[in-house]
Amino acid sequence: MFTRTHYKLERHTIGFAVAIIVVSAIGGLFEIAPLFTIDETVETAPDMRLYTPLELAGRNIYIREGCYACHSQMIRTLRDEVERYGPYSLAVESKYDHPMLWGSKRTGPDLARIGGKYSDAWQVAHLYNPRDVVPQSVMPAYRWLARNKLRTEDLGRHLIAQRRVGVPYTDDMIAHAEQDAKAQVDPDSDNAEGVSERYGEATHVRAFDGNPRDVTEMDALVAYLQILGRLTDAAYQNKDKGE
């Protein structure tokens, strides 16, 4: 009987097309749909803070340069990874990452908890020419990051777009996006305090590339690298609980 049905299905090409879609799509649906309700069961992290405009800009540079092609940001639940890189990554840690940058390849080491492991000066020197600090490195040199001024006038629009996809940036943050980006590299400026007010006391406010006057792409990228794994302490608390 259903052979006749299939026969008809084939004769009507559209029916055949629908069959392919249904058969293929349902699999993915079963797998993915429950993940969108996962917020109910996922770890909560009340201390989770947002990327500052400068860090977000740095993240966009990380994306633009394709850093994710060689660096993961996902420490797996394996002993050697935890010992090498730190507590394994939790889902909540990337809940504001649009898109996520878990990566799929480690030509270089994992960066999920790189924040604070090295000084700003080391990061700048390393990006300027990796082989100056790690002679065996195969990473490209990113000298132009130090030369390029960061585009800041569009950061407000970036925060608005982020809010549209679900990141809770406030009107205040959006209104001060450009100002905050400039102030975050200039701790002595009048606006520096506003950055800490809006994004939390733990926010790094300092001249990442050593020069507080200009906001360079180097500033942004280093600010981002220094915050990796530092947006919440959930992973560390989780580790203490486990032990």
Among residue numbers 34 through 93, which ones bind another protein (CB under 8 A)?
Answer: 34-38, 40-42, 60, 63-70, 72, 74, 76-78, 80-81, 83-84, 88-93
**Number of other residues whose CB lies within 10 A of the CB of residue 38:** 10
Q: Residue 56 or 205: which CB sits closer to another protein? A: 56
Tokens of residue 48, six digits: 């989770």
* Cβ atoms within 10 Å of 21's Cβ, excluding its own: 10
230 is written with which tokens? 């530092």
Q: How far is the CB of 193 from another protein (least distance, A)?
A: 28
**Residue 219: burial class (beta carbons within 10 Å; 0-12, 13-18, 19+):** buried
For residue 243, give Cα distances in angstroms to 2, 34, 41: 58, 30, 21
The tokens describing 83, both together, are: 């010992």
Pick out residues in 147-186 that bind another protein (CB under 8 A): 154, 157-158, 160-162, 164-167
Residue nearer to another protein on the CB measure, 30 or 190: 30
Indicate whether 136 belongs to the interface with another protein (CB under 8 A).
Answer: yes
Piece of 27-35, 47-55, 172-180, 222-230 that binds another protein (CB under 8 A)? 27-35
- CA end-to-end distance (rounded Å), the chain: 61
- Among positions 203-232, residues that touch another protein (CB under 8 A) are none
Q: Which of residues 47, 116, 121, 143 is near another protein by CB under 8 A?
A: 143
Q: Which of 44, 55, 58, 104: binder of another protein (CB under 8 A)?
A: 104
**CB of residue 133 to another protein, shortest distance in Å:** 11
Q: What count of other Cβ atoms lies within 10 Å of the Cβ of residue 222?
A: 29
CB of 238 to another protein, least distance (A): 11
